[in-house]
Chain A
Amino acid sequence: DAGITQSPRHKVTETGTPVTLRCHQTENHRYMYWYRQDPGHGLRLIHYSYGVKDTDKGEVSDGYSVSRSKTEDFLLTLESATSSQTSVYFCAISEDLSSYEQYFGPGTRLTVT
């Protein structure tokens, strides 16, 4: 299995509080991605990174920000969590843009009450 960890694995938080999810990789892959998975919507891209300090928006980026200060870490921040952000969040990595595969982490289940 690719070396990808996510923390925390589970979190319950209240509406309006800030939340940061961490993705850590040991593969030295250039590309990192944050997805959310919801029933009826499948998997949707939030943000992605193509290098240290290089990030871009995905399909559902509103309400989320990201940062990548090191190759191995990609942080997803919800500045002010809302109930609509209750979801399972997956981090993924790929070696380069021409890579056919993305490797996914185990996921973080976030509940916003």
Chain B
Amino acid sequence: DAKTTQPPSMDCAEGRAANLPCNHSTISGNEYVYWYRQIHSQGPQYIIHGLKNNETNEMASLIITEDRKSSTLILPHATLRDTAVYYCIVRVLNNAGNMLTFGGGTRLMVKP
């Protein structure tokens, strides 16, 4: 699975959009981009995933560049409860073990 690069930390004001970038320049054609987050002392939580097209769900939007070498997770109206570590992962669906490998992630601090 391709590796990802994320900034170690970011701040965001409550109520504003949080834009979390991720670089995955070695992504291959059959690898999906996934985002998970982990709130302190809890298990990771799935947020969203995509292959080529931009995606939106009730939690966030995912913008993937046309060359697929980078993506941005957007939390449209960040709240204090969105303070967490956000992980960008690229992996092949249906690979043996269906494993997730988390790197360092981005620690998002939402401030009042």
Contact = CB atoms under 8 A, between A and B. Distances in A.
Interface of A: 4, 31, 33, 35, 37, 42-45, 48, 56, 58-59, 90, 92, 94, 97-107
Interface string B80-94: 000000010000011
Nearest to A100: B49
A61 B101 CA distance: 15
Interface residues of B, number: 22
A106 B101 CA distance: 18
Contact of A102 (B46, B94, B103, B105): B46
A56 B97 contact: yes
A59 B104 CA distance: 17
Contacts of B87: 42
Chain B interface, >50% SS class: loop
A31 B87 CA distance: 22
Contacts of B34: 100
B98 interface: yes
A79 to B, nearest CB: 22
Given A43-B100, A97-B94, A106-B43, 18 more contacts: A42-B101, A42-B105, A45-B100, A45-B101, A48-B98, A56-B96, A56-B97, A92-B44, A98-B93, A99-B98, A100-B34, A100-B46, A101-B46, A102-B46, A102-B98, A104-B45, A105-B43, A107-B41
A100 B33 CA distance: 10
Interface of B: 32, 34, 41-46, 49, 87, 93-94, 96-105
30 contacts: A4-B43, A33-B98, A33-B99, A37-B102, A42-B101, A42-B102, A42-B104, A42-B105, A45-B99, A45-B100, A45-B101, A48-B97, A56-B96, A56-B97, A58-B99, A90-B44, A92-B44, A92-B100, A97-B94, A97-B98, A100-B49, A101-B49, A102-B44, A102-B46, A102-B98, A104-B45, A105-B43, A106-B42, A107-B41, A107-B43
Chain A interface, >50% SS class: strand
A94 B98 contact: yes
Nearest to A99: B98
Contacts of A45: 97, 99-101
